Amino acid sequence: MSTLPAYRSNRIVELMGESAELRGADWLKDSLQQAVLLELATLPPYLCAMWSIEDQDGVACEAIRRIVFDEMSHLGLAGNLLTTIGGAPRLADGRTVPTYPGPLPGGVHPGLIVSLGGLTKESVELFSRIEEPEEPITRAGADTSIGAFYTAILDVFRDDTDLIRGTRQLTRDMSDQGAGNSVVAITSFSDVKAAIDVIKEQGEGTAASPENPFPGESGELAHFYVFQEIYHGRKLIKTSEDPVRWDFAGDEVPMPPAFPMGTVPPGGWIASGTAPDVTAQELIDAGNQGYSALLRFLEQAWQTDTPAEAHQLLNKAIAQMFTLQDPARSLMSREIPDGSGRTYGPEFRYIDAQ
């Protein structure tokens, strides 16, 4: 039985440090489990920012919503990449699930601390750093990116295509959210490459363009540049054809009004020194229980050999996802009694089944 993957570790850094000649099936399983955790880790902070926006039909909210759907499909594709080689994602355990505030899984972007809070200029700067390409088209010299990790994974698949078995694949038609958003079965190397291209390029764009090659609508940008537009307060436009240059010099992108959700402290709100009132704690607990149930359903879906049961469990996970918004936004309207003017918000903590 494989060792339970610890969330707080430098495992991705260690895996990337291993010689390419030594990277085989075990390396790939370990790497893909870390990839699953990496994709999961982005969802809670993006969801908190999205839910904090007062106008849920506004432009900024819709832009972040598209990113959230992308990240959901990336999680599904990463899980399928793992199960196609005989692995099984581990999601439902407090030692594995990302905790906040904390680092990204595996030592990616060392020194970067991811926290849960409302939409602010600081939060979109954080999100930009998570999604940052190795060489953004607007500047050079960025740190090693998540994309480099996926490139290494692709190389191992390319070297040993016999590892691809097509086992325990979850599928979901999400084409209404974008050309590359459906969770598809991984049964060949071309499927592997297509899945990794989607994950990398929706987040980072390509070397030639900041646009998302798999958009939900024409002209949609990759995640990094969407967050950068919100941060700079301007649309990203091409300012020169020869040489090609892009800059945040377009129309204004105003920061939308948002609930002033405070940063969830280590250990949750109960550890903040000001215990939540009964109603706030009930909402916090409802969010944590719903999130935990979602992760259990998803983990179980990738463990069953029965496609009909897997489909049913995936549907339960998705249904659970949609139960999280109401308690989250209710919390964001409840002020923390510490004089800060900040409000509560969801914790996204894993709670064992009773």
Domain ranges of the chain: 11-259
* pLDDT score, position 137: 36
First to last CA, the chain: 25
User: What phi-psi label fits residue 273: left (phi over 0), alpha (psi between -120 and 50 degrees) or beta?
Assistant: left
Mean pLDDT, consecutive 10-residue stretches, the chain (354 aa), reads: 64 89 94 94 96 93 92 95 96 92 88 95 94 54 64 94 96 81 94 92 63 70 90 90 87 94 94 87 96 97 96 95 95 93 96 85
What gap in Å lies between CA 129 and CA 112, rounded to an integer? 8
**What does the pLDDT read at residue 50?**
97
The torsion region of residue 168 among left (phi > 0), alpha (psi -120 to 50) and beta comes to left
d(CA 78, CA 100): 22
Global pTM reads: 0.91
Query: What was the pLDDT predicted at 215?
Result: 62
How many degrees, rounded to 5, is the angle at CA 14 between CA 8 and CA 18? 160
CATH no. of 11-259: 1.20.1260.10
- Give the burial class of 116: count Cβ atoms within 10 A of its Cβ; 0-12 exposed, 13-18 middle, 19 or more buried: buried
Q: What is the pLDDT of residue 4?
A: 62
